[in-house]
Structure 1
Amino acid sequence: MATGHYIQRKMGAAGPELHMATDHNRDQSYFLFSTTPEQLGFLRFPLGHLASKAETRALAARHGLVVADKPDSQDICFVPDGNYAAVIEKLRPGAADPGDIVHADGRVLGTHKGLIHYTIGQRRGLGIGGLDEPLYVVRLDTDTRRVIVGPKEMLATRTVPVREINWLGDEPFDARAEWPLAVKVRSTRPPAEAVVRPVSPTEAEVELLTPEEGVSPGQACVFYAPDGTRVFGGGWIWRGY
């Protein structure tokens, strides 16, 4: 089966491997880390090796495809109107319920209109102006519907617990005590050096060699070769043990 995703499938010594797209500005490997080895057996990504979107458009025009000049879309295909909050509210009833905005020291600073409107690292639009220090969202407590805010230094994270790991290496994930890899904790950031320590075949503790800001449960943590383009899979960040 062929898809239009910007990612590459290459044959390695142990079988098919997943690699970043040649055009790193279009690379979609962060979103496709959960592609399984079995799926790699029959998937093909004919656009992944192309150097740019311009080359893709030229190829489409040469073959007479009507979408050759179609404008780029930044929306998720199943959210054409861009109303992500409505989709989340439908999938997770209660996510739009109001709650308290609470400082990390316990002070209640205000109220919010639903956790779906906030993200880790957010500073603007909190509705709690007039304070002596700039505050950022440092945690979203879904159990109590609280938005926890604090100073910027609270965003720095070095240890990241990851579970539901899909591993694409040539040997079992838990065959080693640790894997020196590069990881992405957000789609827009470049891979950063890390040590991935398996806890089980599907769980790990990831140590970031340089602390990152805005690491949040529910985001993907994707594993890459430290000095190449190969994708070694990844998993989902959670709160930890």
Structure 2
Amino acid sequence: MTTWDPDRYLQFADDRSRPFVDLVARVQGTPSTIVDLGCGPGHLTAVLRTRWPEATIHGVDSSPDMIDKADADHRDDRTTYELADVAAWTTAEPVDLIVSNALFQWVPDQLAVIRRLTDLVAPGGTFALQVPCNYDAPSHRLLHEISSRPPYGEHTEGLHADRGTHAEAYLDLFTSLGWATDAWETTYLHVLQGADPVFDWISGTGARPILQALPDGVREEFVAAYKAALREAYPTQPWGTVLPFSRTFAVARRAA
């Protein structure tokens, strides 16, 4: 099972936060109960608190380290956190807003899970989500090409799925339920600094399952080869290294 490092994830907190801010900006109304699915270390749950200061907010994540970080840094008298498997998570009372940032690409059979979760949204409520959609980018193609070769492939079998979902799939899902839906895709151009910034970025998220699957010694050899390939694919410019990153968004509102 993949484990997550909150500090590593927060290394690019500002860049990683931009899609969430753009997502939340499209949510209308004033929800009084909010669930942040895949809340991570809680820094984006804090964005929800700023946007809706009177709301009751509940963060859910499957990583003990992430939940511990969120609970330590971003708990208040109306914000709570729960360690749970999002695919099975439920709530006794419907909520006004379910929001999820960069979670569902990790959830098997995600559309069926999302369909189940829509039953937990109150009439007039909203389901807002964002997921990466850049699995055909060099960063991911190289990750899977190199990690599939000997001697790495015997350790990474089953970790090479394309987890991207395009906006049309979410549009079809929510509109089939009769929800008013706004779905779109955006490519961000992140300007990163450092010697191997693209590796630093992806090693905190998309590459983490593969890096953890490789044994000591083999992992270091893979990292060297992957870094070299990334430096060639993403050459450094005078102002930094540009990482184009595409993301898919959906904001769907249930009829009142």
TM above 0.5, one fold? no
Structure with the largest fraction of strand: 1
TM-score (norm 1): 0.24
Between 1 and 2, higher relative CO (CA 8 Å, sep ≥ 6) is seen in 2
Q: What's the TM-score, normalizing by structure 2?
A: 0.23
